[in-house]
Amino acid sequence: MNLQVRDVEVEAAGTESLPLMGNEAIARGAWEAGVRVAAAYPGTPSTEILESLAGYPASDLYADWSTNEKVALDVAIGAALSGVRAICTMKHVGLNVAADSLMSQSYIGVHGGLVLIVCDDPGIHSSQNEQDTRLFAKLAGVPVLEPSDAQEAYDFTKLAFELSEAFDTPVIVRSTTRLSHTRSLVRVGSRKVPAPKGFVDQPTKTVTIPANARRLHPKVIEREARLAKFLEDSPLTRWEKGDTRFGIVTGATSYLYVKEVAPTASILKLGTAYPLPDETIKAFAASVDRLIVVEELEPVLEKEIRGLGLAAEGKAFFPRIGEFSPELVRAGLAKAGLMDPAPAPLSLDIEPMARPPVLCSGCPHTATFLALRGLSARVAGDIGCYTLAAVEPLRSIDTTVCMGASIANATGMSLSGTETKPIVATIGDSTFLHSGIPPLIDAVYHKANITVVILDNGITAMTGGQDHPGTGRTLRGEPAPRVDYEKLCRAVGVESVRIVDPYEVGRLYQSLREAISTKGVSVVIARRPCVLDPVKIKGTALAVNAAGCVACQSCMNLGCPSITWSDEVHEGRHKVKIDPASCIGCTVCAQVCPSDCIQPVH
């Protein structure tokens, strides 16, 4: 096998430079690489990749949201097996959902290039955990490329398709929040589309029954060895010679922090975390007195390097949790005795204002969770904007595990026989389509006594307002078939289905009470559009008649950011006021006000 990979730096040198975020650079690289099919499920920090790809002509590529990450990867796999280049994007927890397909596809290989972009979230900026995709790559036996900046994000994405086809393997390009959302100039080129190859008609390779899989597994191991040999002289592996007192092995965004803090050090920059160029690493280690590994999250590189019999040091000085920074890297090197610690920062003695996350003014989910709290329900929550109802003042969610877990969690609570409270599962419309339907079927099958509340705000709100099969629109805004949630629920055996507008607070309470008292599985669809996406909704603002306000705090229990304390006091408690600029006029606060002092502004 003779793969001619051009120097990445030279290949990238085009006539045009664009200011691109890392996600936009990945999209540009994929488009230039000739991608014909792109699929994803939105998830921060990966969302903008598919949105950017959809900005290129529809005649160039098909790009749209899938119902979940496994479906997205399966779509991309089908396209690759049909002989065109395909890409699938997701955040790190999305790879958990897609893992089943990835593990088998590693055995099968590809026909057209198949690239997965997986965006990790060190520091847990917008996720339920921080996990390290490099561990998944090794488990699956597929290479993972780690760009450091937007230019490399563009370069490595293009290169990933070449590697995929040359080595007959899916390839993961791993980004992180910092890279995905940092903007810099990127030298770009033009689009080049490989000729479609047609479907690969080879069942012994593409059908993973045990007899075929046994023959394919040794090829995965042999492929790993060939990839490792390729990396020894690849531009993905860069040895920057410097001070030999210590050498640093690093990659991804950590490389930039190392260069800023220790510009004269000897550095081995690895563009891949799996497999590794073992011989180059050994030679680098022999050239320095101490070998330090700087990597975010898990000690993936450190353990692999120690496995080569080398005295690598890393997590003794750097944490396994959180996002790195130049200051953190400097502190770690100082702890290792390799440089002086940074001067103590000047204390400005300023106490930052606490700004807890809250639902938006007029969010349709607010009244639903207020009602569930009032009904003293045991609530299994899910992943979405509404997860904010777990904190004060709504404080009405008891569990949140992962996408689609709420209904099955509620089923388990019911089957345990220990819960005395009404059991309710809450799940958003997009999350329900993502992974809520199978557990709903399971709940009906097991005759669980639970109520499922589908929070239908008509959009994938948490990640910025993306469409899905329940919105009736595609990513490009074209009309599409729309899921009917009521018919779907009835089709799987739910007999009690109610649809209610959460702005009608009295009817909402009544519907929830009736659903909770129904034996078996009942469903309440709380339907009201998101107040921000796809367009911002604003009606007549409300105001508080201060003379009538008795400072009862009923409206404050909503946690609406438009409602704040005023300077006026009643019986030792502050009255409230409403910000007319942010109030959207949902009237929920007026409906819960016992003194009828909240009225529209005339």
Q: What is the DSSP string of 61-110?
A: -EEEE-SSHHHHHHHHHHHHHTTS-EEEEEEHHHHHHHHHHHHHHHHH--
Tokens representing 18 are 């664009």
Query: Does 402 carry a binding-site annotation?
Result: no
Please state the separation of Cα 544 from the chain's center in Å.
40
> What are the tokens at 275?
């497999």
Measured in degrees and rounded to the nearest 5, phi and psi for residue 454 equal -90, 115
Give me 536's structure tokens: 């911002």
**Residues 6 or more apart whose Cβ sits within 8 Å of residue 452:** 407, 410, 424, 425, 426, 427, 440, 443, 494, 521, 522, 523, 524
88 in a known ligand binding site:
no
| H or E stretch at 31 | helix 22-32
Region of 321 please: left (phi>0), alpha (psi -120 to 50) or beta: beta
119 carries a ligand binding annotation = no
SS3 464: coil
- 337: CB partners within 8 A, 6+ apart: none
- CB of 155 within 8 A of CB of 12? yes
What's 555's DSSP letter? G
**Cβ-contact 145, 272 below 8 angstroms:** yes
Q: For 341, list phi and psi in degrees, rounded to 5.
A: -65, 155
Q: Is 481 helix (H, G, I), strand (E, B) or coil?
A: coil
**CB neighbours (10 Å) of residue 564?**
12
β-strands 542-544, 598-600 pairing: antiparallel
Q: Is 597 annotated as a binding residue?
A: no
- Expressed in angstroms, the distance from the first to the final Cα of the chain is 77
How far apart are the C-alpha atoms of 362 and 586, rounded to whole Å? 5
- Residue 385 assigned to a binding site: no
Token output for 288: 């320095």
CA nearest to 38, candidates 58, 23, 53, 21:
53
Separation between Cα atoms, residue 318 and residue 313, nearest integer Å? 10
DSSP 508-534: HHHHHHHHHHSSSEEEEEEE---SSSS
Q: 3-state SS of 256-274?
A: HHHHHHCCCEEEEEECEEE
Which bin fits 492, alpha (ψ -120 to 50), beta or left (φ > 0)?
Answer: alpha
Kindly report the backbone phi and psi dihedral angles of residue 22, in degrees, each rounded to the nearest multiple of 5, phi listed first: -55, -40
Report the SS3 class of residue 235.
coil
Residues at the binding site for [4Fe-4S] cluster are 549, 552, 555, 560, 583, 586, 589, 593
Residues at the binding site are 549, 552, 555, 560, 583, 586, 589, 593
